[in-house]
Amino acid sequence: MGLDPEDVFKDEEDDPDNEFFQQSESSKEYVVYLVDASPKMFNTTCPGNDQKDETHFHTSVSCIAGSLKTQIISRSYDEVAICFFNTREKKNLQDLNGVFVFNVAEREHLDRPTARLIKEFDCIEESFMREIGSQYGIVPGSRENSLYNALWVAQALLRKGSIKTADKRILLFTNEDDPFGSLQDAAKKDMTRTTLQRAKDAQDLGISIELLPLSRPDSEFNVSTFYADLIGLDGEDLAQFMPSASQKLEDMKDQLRKRMFTKRVVRRIEFHIANGLSIALNTYALIRPTVPGAITWLDSVTNHPLKTERSLICEDTGALIQEPPKLFQPYRNENVKFLPEEIAEIKRISPGKLRLLGFKPLSCLKDYYNLRPSTFVYPSDQEVVGSTCIFIALHRSMLKHKRFAVAYYGASSHPQLVALVAQDEITSAGAQMEPPGMHMIYLPYSDDIRDDEEIFPDTEEDAPRADEDQIQKAAALIKRIYVKDFSAFQFANPALQRHYAVLQALALAEDDIPETIDETAPDEEGLTRPAVVKAAEAFKLSVYGDSYDEESDMGKEKMSEASRKRKAIAENAAKDYDWGNLADKGQVRVEEFNSRRFESLLKCPQPSC
Amino acid sequence: MARNKEKLVLLLDVGPSMHGVLSEVEKLCSMLVEKKLIFSKYDELGVVVFGTEESNNDLTTEVGGYQNITVLQDIKVVDGDLVDTLQKLPRGTVDGDFLDAIVVGMDMLIKKYKDLHKGKKRLCLITNAIHPIKDPFEGSKEDQVMTIAEQMAAQGMKIESIVVRGRFSRDANKGVMDENDHLLSIFSKKTHTRTVYVDTPTSLLGALKTRRVTPVTVFRGHLELSPQMKIKVWVYKKTQEEKFPTLKKYSEKAPASNKLATHQVKVSYEYKSVDGSSNSVIPPEQRIKGYRYGPQVVPISTAEWDAVKFKPEKGIKVLGFTDASKIKRHCYMKDVYLFIAEPGNTRATLAVSAIARAMKEMNAVAILRCVWRQGQQNIVVGVLTPNISQNDKIPDSFYFNVLPFAEDVREYQFPSFNSFPASWQPNDQQQKAADELVQMLDLAPSGKEALLPEFTPNPVLERFYRHLELKAKQPDAAVPPLDETLKKIIEPDPELVAENKSVFDALHRHFELKQNPKLKKSSRQWYQEKQSGSNAHVSGGQAVNSIENQPPVKIEKIGDLTPVQDFEAMMSQRDNPEWVEKAIKELREKILALLIHPDGEDKYQKAVECVAALRKGCIIEQEPGPYNDLMHRIRQYCEEKGIKSLPQLLASRDLTLISKSEAEDSNVTAEEARSFFVKMEPKPDV
């Protein structure tokens, strides 16, 4: 079995050791979620996901719950605290009124998220009124200022760690754009001033405060009333901050998700444009397959983690090999030996440099020129002043002339010819959908491209081509199943979600594994609508005539000699998989499985690392 | 795999007009054999050259004719000698006849294999096809080619032609070329043919697939548009990276006398408790996999996982069609798949053709949900794009690529370019210079696309296999540098650069780059190391002479643009001790000039940087004199002119006199140095 992790998400060609897929774990993030729990948050509703109205409080809480679940998987070393304000009860180290820090056992207030935190927070709404309670904290005649208190508590929570090693943030959820609106002039002025000062103090300590405002469809959250000053917005930023009043809650969730990630530079590279003209770029991995976390091997008796010791043993003598061994390739009846450094030297071509070779029209970038996920590049003036200026100029020209750059990227482990495709900034409702910059697309070489579409036509006849009527019928069918608002990454990965759900159930000692929804399942209902069925039948008739059902037989008769041979080869190859058996096994297992086995499993102590 | 053995005859034109590219032909063909020696050891190969002075082939002895064709190597199982043969092809003296060569090659295959091994016999012709072929005794050339092509089809032979044109055939007769092209195209009507035209030595190296990969389907089954409408398809890989070969580890422990030694190395893994409480090894069956969930590790056995895992049904379903613009090119996650209709299934072919063409017309793509095989534990969602065939023989098909899931996307925010200060925004002239570059540094002028991926060899793999071949003969051979042909892949084409000299000149004129002077030393060092990184690395293997290892450019003068860097570079030129003196003198002058004519907004910033560099340099060289002199002059100058800001700047960066503790020759005490600027009594500002 070796060291190989679960190969669920591993494809044959994915190399886990490849630095390409690895990310640096440079800085941590500390986040305090500050949630307004005033009655207004409970009274105001908005149409939610399934058109049912949901309260702003619910929206905020479910946003945070979702983020926590993502975070525990993807960035579990970051630390969070959850804090409500405008509460009836109080719970905080400063003993301030109207502020309640939510926490669970075995966890500091600001700490890594745990299974228990997620589980209990998931059902916070059930117990909220009973245990925490909602109550306006800023009322005329009182000197209490729950917003001020909340910021103070949050700032105190974030006292931990240095801003050099951690990114500290307060994410504030509220639907009250004028928190001191109910107060008389003098009191209002005074509280506004002290609250802004409080926020400024926090910001001076390197804490950023971000606002997630909730609007009603009929009345928009007005940032400029108060919060613009608090979070330091002005001019254009202010105008861009609040998207249109019809902003959907979904967008807000998206925004939160976006804000959950801090940027991490993968690598700095030098982009060599001409002799003596090299600019500095940072590269970022914006899209990479997410895989379930690494496996930690445990001793099944004690549940203690195990370490792996690798040793190299000479097969001839049984001796242990200490020094890094030479490598060899059998060739011409002998073993040609290489030193590891020689292999590195062979691969070393323009190390660390991206060299511009020229430009081509975008139409030259064929759909099949792709090998791996792309890498995003963005200029930096940090080392070389003037880099950004050249980059912007090239970026504009490439967009204007619809051209991409071809360059040679001398990555140490994997030098490669790449295409640099300029991407213009795209914003929607104030949020950046596509950042401005260039995407580096890894191009194949001649030996990476196959021409399998050319293997079959060994008849003298031309290949069958659809006629105009068939194309029109196909177009009609396509129109029936056309999706207008498709986003390339709208689906959650069902296998990953299942994986997390199982982990969560085991970690939380739940009896049932939570249901996960496979968002990728086709819209069966939609596809059986009469209009779709009609279009499908019409297309079928135009291509297959009346004999669609006999299609498979027709195929066999016509199968060429070559394809019969190929089939034999493929069947041979397929012997590796025992498909039927695998499927059966899976079925049986599910039924056999019962929760008692889970219970016995969970009795083992779970080591924490 | 014996029945998969390929039988190949190379037909190589070595006539005088081919001499310019024969070294590339040699490299290409020897690479072909080198890879066969590793990946398809039992393939058989013969070599025919044409355009030779002599004639040596069966047909010329048996029936006469077939002049100037030499069988260099009869068909045999590939071996090392073949590589040697192909590495030194004879240079011919006459213009060869490619059609005769084809017949000779066919004759060799027929004699050796009769009508066996259909589909495994292949001819590979490399020629420029610029010389006319001989007229036949009867009928037209066309008829003759037709007959040969039919015979080829009947024997189950394939032919691949690589026609070298472009720069190498500039003076050739166009009429002859057209006729030859037409004749070659007849083959494709009758038999399985691949004809490619290449116009640079680099693309010639990439023109022949040097490694034969047996195509394997990823999926066979239905492409389901709706529950009623399914099309039978096969799915192949369209691109798949050819990896650097995995080398085995070699053990040198066995004594040299042991002739039977395998020299293999076994990698063994042992599992031990992390806390080190016991040093005992845990047997593999006692291990259990643990998965992290936040700070916890959750143990789950394989059996448990199997029971609860996600197990989708095999199948490919269309989730919907959408506008092509919705799918950004950079979202493609993987290498590319090819969807073709089930071979021989006319209806399915028509259905694929109709959908593909409709998609093309509507500029639509399909979103697919794929489970390639039963038992697969994940789902792939991706985008299907139409591939409309340009060749009448080849059916329409689709390409497919994997799209990211929500979890795979990191939506980082980046500053909008408009938000940058005006000094970072290109002005009109700069924009014009960039526009020129983007348009003029053109790799695809009028259909002649350079560096077409289809014809671009992988320079790393080329280098590896060449080095392998070299080492087989000479075990201590050093890694060879990339040759000129391969350099075209990693460096801009010198010809193209020369043609666009004015464009590059404009670029240099309008854009200025400098190292950030405010950068902290540590990060600057990073940058410098990075720049010289290759040199440092290479020094390990002295024989290595890679292209990166060029000596740094010699600095003869300290320029205005980057005086600090020039100074540092000049100081480090060790070939002549005079450089140090010259560097110090020139930088001093530069500093004084900067004082009198402050540069830009930062006023004295640049001067201060230079002072800092000079101070450092003088300490390293233990030459405090010139620097201390200069400092006195600066102080005097500032006092006279009533300049306060500069001394303050210098003092704030501790750029005071060099004291005795820093350089032995200095006669300044530490105390004097400290108070150097404090003592200054500037006249009141005028």
Helix (H, G, I), strand (E, B) or coil at B176: helix
* Cα maximum dimension of chain A: 96
pLDDT band at A198 (very low <50, low <70, confident <90, very high): very high
Count of CA atoms in the C-beta half-sphere (13 A) of B585: 7
- For residue B50, list its beta bridge partners: B13, B69
CB B683 within 8 A of CB B639: yes
- Between residues B488 and B542, which one has the greater pLDDT? B488
Using a 10 angstrom Cβ sphere, with 0-12 exposed, 13-18 middle and 19 or more buried, the burial of residue A229 is: middle
Q: Look at A388-402, A465-479, B136-150, B312-326 and tell me which has the smallest mean pLDDT.
A: B136-150
CB A298 within 8 A of CB B290: yes
Of B258, B540, B168, give the one whose Cα is nearest residue A317. B258
Please tell me the predicted confidence (pLDDT) of residue A7: 35
Is the minimum CB–CB distance between B184 and chain A shorter than 8 Å? Answer: no
Q: Which residues numbered 568-587 in A keep a CB inside 8 Å of some CB on B?
A: 569-570, 573, 577, 579, 582-583, 585-586
Please tell me the predicted confidence (pLDDT) of residue A356: 95
Q: CA–CA separation, B243 vs A18, rounded Å?
A: 12
* Cα maximum dimension of chain B: 111
Of B468, B462, B463, give the one whose Cα is nearest residue B481. B463
Both tokens of residue B7? 């039988």
Residue of B nearest to A444 (CA): B453
Please tell me the predicted confidence (pLDDT) of residue B519: 56
Could you report the per-residue pLDDT of B569-582, keeping only the tens digit for each?
A: 777 766 666 777 88
Could you report the per-residue pLDDT of A200-218, keeping only the tens digit for each?
A: 999 988 898 888 888 776 7
List of residues 6+ apart from A561 with CB closer than 8 A: none
Count of CA atoms in the C-beta half-sphere (13 A) of A52: 4
pLDDT band at B388 (very low <50, low <70, confident <90, very high): very high
Helix (H, G, I), strand (E, B) or coil at A197: helix
B-chain residues near A287 (CB < 8 A): 330-331, 333, 404, 408-410
Of B326, B413, B309, give the one whose Cα is nearest residue B364. B326
Provide the mean pLDDT of chain B: 83
pLDDT tops 80 at residue B89: yes
- Average of pLDDT values for B82-90? 93
A:B CB pairs within 8 Å = 779
- Between residues A545 and A546, which one has the greater pLDDT? A545
What is the distance in angstroms between the Cα of A362 and the nearest Cα belonging to chain B? 11
CB contact under 8 A, A299 and B286: yes
Q: How big is chain A by its Cα radius of gyration, in Å?
A: 30
Q: CA–CA separation, B231 vs B237, rounded Å?
A: 19
Q: CA–CA separation, A312 vs B269, rounded Å?
A: 9
pLDDT band at B603 (very low <50, low <70, confident <90, very high): low
Is the minimum CB–CB distance between B518 and chain A shorter than 8 Å? Answer: no
Strands (E), B238-371: 248-250, 265-273, 281-282, 287-293, 296-300, 315-323, 337-341, 364-371
Of the candidates A13, A329, A542, which has its C-beta nearest B468's C-beta? Answer: A329
The sheet carrying B287-293 orders its strands as: A295-299, B287-293, B296-300
Q: CA–CA separation, A88 vs A96, rounded Å?
A: 12
Region of residue A237 (left: phi > 0; alpha: psi -120 to 50; beta: else): alpha
Is the minimum CB–CB distance between A544 and chain B shorter than 8 Å? Answer: yes
Residue A199 is classified by DSSP as H
pLDDT band at A578 (very low <50, low <70, confident <90, very high): very low
CB B21 within 8 A of CB B484: no
pLDDT tops 70 at residue B514: yes
Q: CA–CA separation, B370 vs B296, rounded Å?
A: 34
Q: What's at A376, amino acid-wise?
A: F
Q: Look at A244-248, A446-450, B35-39, B349-353 and tell me which has the smallest mean pLDDT.
A: A244-248
Please tell me the predicted confidence (pLDDT) of residue B682: 47
A-chain residues near B444 (CB < 8 A): 360-361, 364
pLDDT tops 50 at residue A241: yes
Both tokens of residue A246? 């019809």
Which residue carries 């289809």 as its tokens? B454
Q: How many residues does chain A have?
A: 609
CB contact under 8 A, B394 and A463: yes
- Rounded to 5°, angle at Cα B341 from B336 and B347: 160
CB contact under 8 A, B420 and A288: no
Q: What's at B665, amino acid-wise?
A: D
- Average of pLDDT values for B375-382? 90
CB B75 within 8 A of CB B46: yes
Q: What's at A117, amino acid-wise?
A: L
Please tell me the predicted confidence (pLDDT) of residue A43: 87
Using a 10 angstrom Cβ sphere, with 0-12 exposed, 13-18 middle and 19 or more buried, the burial of residue B425 is: middle
Q: Which residues numbered 335-374 in A keep a CB inside 8 Å of some CB on B?
A: 335-338, 341-343, 345-352, 355-361, 364-374
Could you report the per-residue pLDDT of B227-285, keeping only the tens digit for each?
A: 888 999 999 999 999 988 888 888 877 777 777 788 888 888 888 877 666 667 888 88
B-chain residues near A295 (CB < 8 A): 289-291
Both tokens of residue A367? 């759909």
Distances (CA, A) of B586 to B160, B570, B590, B592, B646: 65, 10, 6, 10, 21
- Predicted TM-score (pTM) above 0.90: no
- Between residues B362 and B294, which one has the greater pLDDT? B362
Is the minimum CB–CB distance between B291 and chain A shorter than 8 Å? Answer: yes
Both tokens of residue B567? 């100074």
pLDDT tops 90 at residue A491: no
- Between residues B531 and B546, which one has the greater pLDDT? B531
CB B658 within 8 A of CB B668: yes
Please tell me the predicted confidence (pLDDT) of residue B574: 63
Is the minimum CB–CB distance between A25 and chain B shorter than 8 Å? Answer: no
- Between residues B154 and A489, which one has the greater pLDDT? B154
- Between residues A263 and A512, which one has the greater pLDDT? A512
Q: CA–CA separation, B63 vs B110, rounded Å?
A: 16
- Average of pLDDT values for A480-500? 83
Which residue carries 């350099």 as its tokens? B487
pLDDT tops 50 at residue A526: yes
Q: What is the DSSP string of A490-525?
A: -S--HHHHHHHHHHHHHHTT-SSPPP---TTS--HH
Q: How big is chain B by its Cα radius of gyration, in Å?
A: 35
Could you report the per-residue pLDDT of A26-76, keeping only the tens digit for each?
A: 467 889 999 999 999 998 777 665 567 788 898 889 888 878 877 787 677
Q: Give the β-pairing of A403-409 and A416-423.
A: antiparallel
Q: CA–CA separation, A86 vs A98, rounded Å?
A: 5
pLDDT band at A580 (very low <50, low <70, confident <90, very high): very low
- Between residues A478 and B677, which one has the greater pLDDT? A478
pLDDT band at A254 (very low <50, low <70, confident <90, very high): low
- For residue A270, list its beta bridge partners: A280, A353
* ipTM above threshold 0.90: no
Count CB neighbours of A343 within 10 A. Answer: 17
Q: CA–CA separation, A601 vs A582, rounded Å?
A: 25
- Between residues B552 and A592, which one has the greater pLDDT? B552
- Average of pLDDT values for B430-457? 91
pLDDT tops 70 at residue B530: no
Q: CA–CA separation, B75 vs B423, rounded Å?
A: 69
CB A476 within 8 A of CB A539: yes
Both tokens of residue B487? 């350099």
Both tokens of residue B367? 């979103």
Of A521, A518, A516, give the one whose Cα is nearest residue A502. A516
Using a 10 angstrom Cβ sphere, with 0-12 exposed, 13-18 middle and 19 or more buried, the burial of residue A575 is: exposed
pLDDT band at B366 (very low <50, low <70, confident <90, very high): very high
What is the distance in angstroms between the Cα of B54 and the nearest Cα belonging to chain A? 31
pLDDT band at A355 (very low <50, low <70, confident <90, very high): very high
Both tokens of residue B435? 């526009």
Q: Give the β-pairing of B287-293 and B296-300.
A: antiparallel
Of the candidates A254, A336, A570, which has its C-beta nearest B217's C-beta? Answer: A570
Is the minimum CB–CB distance between B239 and chain A shorter than 8 Å? Answer: yes
pLDDT tops 60 at residue A126: yes
- Between residues B402 and B376, which one has the greater pLDDT? B402
pLDDT band at B533 (very low <50, low <70, confident <90, very high): very low
pLDDT tops 60 at residue B539: no
CA B126 to chain centre: 25
pLDDT tops 80 at residue B597: no
pLDDT tops 70 at residue B529: no
b vs e for B73-95, b when ≥16 Cβ sit within 10 Å of the residue's Cβ? bebeebbbebbebbeebeebeeb
Is the minimum CB–CB distance between A487 and chain B shorter than 8 Å? Answer: yes
List of residues 6+ apart from B561 with CB closer than 8 A: B512, B514
Could you report the per-residue pLDDT of A365-403, keeping only the tens digit for each?
A: 999 999 999 999 999 988 888 999 999 999 999 999 999
pLDDT tops 70 at residue A161: yes
Both tokens of residue B365? 């793509």
Q: CA–CA separation, A29 vs A290, rounded Å?
A: 20
Residue A587 is classified by DSSP as H
Of the candidates B266, B342, B379, which has its C-beta nearest A495's C-beta? Answer: B379
CB contact under 8 A, B375 and A583: yes
Could you report the per-residue pLDDT of B5-17, keeping only the tens digit for each?
A: 889 999 999 999 8
Q: CA–CA separation, B224 vs B231, rounded Å?
A: 6
CB contact under 8 A, B379 and A577: no
Is the minimum CB–CB distance between B194 and chain A shorter than 8 Å? Answer: yes
Helix (H, G, I), strand (E, B) or coil at B222: strand
Is the minimum CB–CB distance between A317 and chain B shorter than 8 Å? Answer: yes
Most confident stretch, A209-223, A401-415, A443-457, B657-671: A401-415
- Between residues A321 and A407, which one has the greater pLDDT? A407
- Average of pLDDT values for B179-201? 84
Of the candidates A299, A397, A590, which has its C-beta nearest B434's C-beta? Answer: A397
Distances (CA, A) of A79 to A144, A261, B494: 29, 13, 54
A-chain residues near B489 (CB < 8 A): 408, 417
Please tell me the predicted confidence (pLDDT) of residue A538: 93
Using a 10 angstrom Cβ sphere, with 0-12 exposed, 13-18 middle and 19 or more buried, the burial of residue A572 is: exposed
Q: CA–CA separation, B685 vs A529, rounded Å?
A: 89
Region of residue B428 (left: phi > 0; alpha: psi -120 to 50; beta: else): alpha
Helix (H, G, I), strand (E, B) or coil at B535: helix
Q: CA–CA separation, A214 vs B659, rounded Å?
A: 65
Both tokens of residue A131? 């245990």
